[in-house]
Amino acid sequence: MDWLKIIENTLRASIGVDAIYFAIAAIGLNIHFGYTGMLNFGQAAFMACGSYGLGMTAQYFGVGLWWGIPIGIVFVVILSLIVGIPTLRLRADYLAIVTIATAEIVRLFVRSVKFNKVFGGTEGISNFSRQYRELNPFEPSKTYGIRPFLFTGYSIFTIFVGWILVGIFSLFTWQLMRSPWGRVVKGIREDEDAVRSLGKNVYAYKMQALVIGGVIGMFAGMLLALDRGSVQPDNYSRMVTFYILTALVLGGLAKVSGSVFGSMFFWVLFVLSDNIMREATRNGPLRVAGFTIIESNQVGAVNYMFVGIGLMLLIVFRPQGLFGNRQEMALDGR
Q: How far is the CB of 279 from other proteins (least distance, A)?
A: 6
Cα(282)–Cα(279) distance, integer angstroms: 5
Q: 162: which residues sit within 8 A by CB, 6+ positions away?
A: 17, 20, 21, 24, 223
Minimum CB–partner distance for residue 101 and other proteins (Å): 5
Nearer to other proteins by Cβ, of 132 and 169: the residue is: 132
Site for other proteins, residues 16 to 75, rule: CB under 8 A: 37, 39, 41
Q: Which of 104, 157, 159, 223 binds other proteins (CB under 8 A)?
A: 104
CA distance 78 to 307: 31
Binders of other proteins among residues 271 to 330 (CB under 8 A) are 273, 276-277, 279-280, 282-288, 293-295, 297-298, 301-302, 304-313, 315-317, 319
125's enclosing H/E stretch is strand 125-126
**Residue 82 binds other proteins (CB under 8 A):** yes
Closest approach of Cβ 137 to other proteins, in Å? 26
CB-nearer residue toward other proteins: 76 or 231: 231
Pure H helices in 112-235: 116-119, 130-134, 153-178, 180-190, 192-197, 202-228
User: How many Cβ atoms are within 10 Å of 122's Cβ, its own excluded?
Assistant: 13
Determine which residue in the list 70, 122, 142, 178 makes contact with other proteins, applying CB under 8 A: 122
Name the minimum Å distance from CB 317 to other proteins: 6
**Contacting other proteins (CB under 8 A), which of 4, 113, 135, 146?**
113
One residue of 173, 232, 259, 263 binding other proteins per CB under 8 A: 232
> CA 303 to CA 287: how far, in whole Å?
18
* Cβ proximity of 213 and 113 under 8 Å: no
Of 54, 29, 77, 53, nearest to 252 (Cα)? Answer: 29
Query: To the nearest whole angstrom, how small is the minimum distance from the Cβ of residue 211 to other proteins?
Result: 18
Q: Which is nearer to other proteins, 171 or 302 (CB)?
A: 302
**Site membership for other proteins, residue 226 (CB under 8 A):** no
Check residue 207 for interaction with other proteins (CB under 8 A): no
**Contact assessment for residue 109 and residue 119, using Cβ atoms and an 8 Å cutoff:** yes
How many residues sit close enough to other proteins to count as binding (CB under 8 A)? 76
- Local structure of 144: helix, strand or coil: strand
Side chain identity at residue 321, one-letter code: G
Four-residue CA torsion sign, 105, 310, 223, 179: positive
| Separation CA 39–CA 181 (nearest Å) | 19
Residues 16, 190: Cα–Cα separation, whole Å? 35
109 within 8 A of 79, measured Cβ to Cβ: no
Q: Any residues with CB less than 8 A from the CB of 45 and at least 6 apart, and which?
A: 79, 99, 102, 103, 106, 107, 236
Identify which range of 21-29, 57-65, 147-155, 243-251 contacts other proteins by CB under 8 A.
Answer: 243-251
Smallest separation (angstroms) from other proteins to the CB of 243:
9
Smallest gap from Cβ 145 to other proteins, in A, equals 23
Site string for other proteins, 124-153 (x = CB under 8 A): x-----------------------------
Among 69, 77, 102, 138, binds other proteins (CB under 8 A): 102
Of 101 and 176, the one with the shorter C-beta distance to other proteins is 101
* Binding residue for other proteins, selected from 90, 164, 171, 204, defined by CB under 8 A: 90
